[in-house]
């Protein structure tokens, strides 16, 4: 009986080992699925903001300014013009009429971080001034914002030798919308570039700390000026 009892304990131990291995292997794909879903949710949220910006421009003849840390989701200043923080602000979710906000009026990504928004200041803040886009003229209106694939080779005002994901000049994006990802605080030069208050932004696939360029989990999209102008022309704004 003692031998049988001892053998049963060994069997139980083996079963537990096998179960732990099986569960460990199952949890890894589950975590990956959760992260993929969070990424897709954040992408959808950014696209919703993108579409809301187009609607706002059609209705108001301009893009909104970013919200500040104290404006509770309202663009700052409230009626546009020269923005308080054009390159390091937040999505003006209240001004855009968005839902699913936090208690202070800010739109969040899937990790609970506030969605960011940058807007062009060129042509005397024409993009954020009432009738500024119309008065500046589509053939001369430009944006200083640019999206690059890496910080390697960039300058404070251009992609430099880095691959440019967006055009410059008259075809440059008038707005960049982004999430700082799960990590939130910058963990690499590429992530720092998205929070350093200059017009150059970085976008590429997710990388971990093992990558030569460090970790990157920001999610970045931008507004095409031609899509913006097309919507405004079709709506009779011009």
User: Which pLDDT score, from 0 to 100, does residue 29 have?
Assistant: 76
Closest CA to 191 of 164, 219, 163: 219
The pLDDT of residue 209 is 85
pLDDT at residue 23, rounded to an integer: 61
How far apart are the C-alpha atoms of 80 and 121, rounded to whole Å?
Answer: 11
Give pLDDT, residue 73. 98
Domain boundaries, the chain: 43-234
Q: Name the stretches of the chain with pLDDT < 70.
A: 1-7, 18, 20-28
Contact criterion met (CB below 8 Å) for 60 and 91: no
- Which pLDDT does position 8 carry in this prediction? 72
SS3 167: coil
Pairing of strands 200-202, 146-148: parallel
The rounded distance, in Å, linking the Cα atoms of 203 and 184 is: 15
pLDDT value, residue 35: 85
Q: Which helix (H) or strand (E) holds 132?
A: helix 132-136
Strands (E), 26-110: 89-90
* pLDDT for res 58: 96
């Amino acid at each position: 009986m003692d031998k049988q009892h001892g053998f049963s304990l060994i069997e139980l131990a083996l079963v537990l080992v096998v179960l732990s291995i099986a569960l460990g292997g199952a949890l890894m794909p589950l975590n990956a699925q959760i992260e993929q879903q969070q990424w897709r949710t954040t992408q959808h949220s950014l696209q919703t903001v993108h579409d809301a910006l187009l609607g706002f421009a059609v209705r108001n003849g301009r893009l909104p300014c970013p919200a500040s840390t104290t404006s509770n989701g309202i663009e700052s200043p409230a009626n546009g013009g020269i923005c308080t923080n054009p390159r390091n602000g937040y999505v003006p979710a209240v001004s855009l009429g968005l839902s699913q906000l936090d208690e202070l009026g800010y739109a969040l990504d899937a990790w609970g971080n506030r969605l960011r928004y940058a807007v062009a200041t060129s042509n005397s803040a024409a993009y954020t001034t009432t009738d500024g886009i119309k008065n500046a003229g589509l053939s001369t209106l430009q944006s200083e914002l640019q999206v690059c694939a890496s910080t390697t080779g960039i300058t404070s005002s251009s992609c430099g030798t880095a691959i440019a994901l967006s055009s410059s000049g008259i075809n440059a994006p008038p707005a960049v919308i982004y999430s700082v990802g799960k990590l939130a605080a910058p963990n690499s030069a590429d992530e720092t570039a998205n929070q350093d208050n200059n017009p150059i932004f970085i976008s590429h696939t997710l990388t971990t700390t093992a990558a030569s360029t460090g970790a990157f989990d920001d999610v970045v999209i931008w507004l095409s000026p031609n899509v913006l102008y097309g919507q405004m022309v079709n709506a009779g704004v011009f």
